[in-house]
Amino acid sequence: MIASVEIIKHELVPKHEILSAKEKEAVLTRFNATENHLPKISISDPVIEMIGAKLGNVIRVTRKSPTAGEAVYYRIVVEK
């Protein structure tokens, strides 16, 4: 029997959060960007599936950084 693992709780998986529509617009405005400018993340990514993100959602990824403490990235959910 294979045990299921909650990958979002693994220490090497950074924190992923779905932004609200208001937060999404604020990020795009802050960086003077459009959705096409954001790095992409696949809808079939295991973390994206676990958090229940949908196509077009913007995800805030917060990683631990030895120099900055925390590094924040934004990605848009796309089809494959």
User: Domain ranges in the chain?
Assistant: 7-78
pLDDT, residue 1, reads: 53
- CA–CA distance, 58 with 30 (Å, rounded to integer): 14
Query: Given the DSSP bridges, would you call strands 69-78 and 15-18 parallel, antiparallel or unpaired?
Result: unpaired
At 46, give phi and psi (nearest 5°).
-55, -40
User: Taking the CB of residue 30, how many other CB atoms lie within 10 A of it?
Assistant: 9
**Do 7 and 50 touch, CB atoms closer than 8 A?**
yes
pLDDT, residue 32, reads: 97
In CATH, the architecture of 7-78 is Alpha-Beta Complex (3.90)
Across the chain, what does the average pLDDT equal?
92
- CA–CA distance, 74 with 17 (Å, rounded to integer): 10
Q: Could you list the pLDDT tens digit for every one of the 80 residues in the chain?
A: 555 667 888 778 899 999 999 999 999 999 999 999 999 999 999 999 999 999 999 999 999 988 989 999 999 999 97
pTM, two decimal places:
0.87
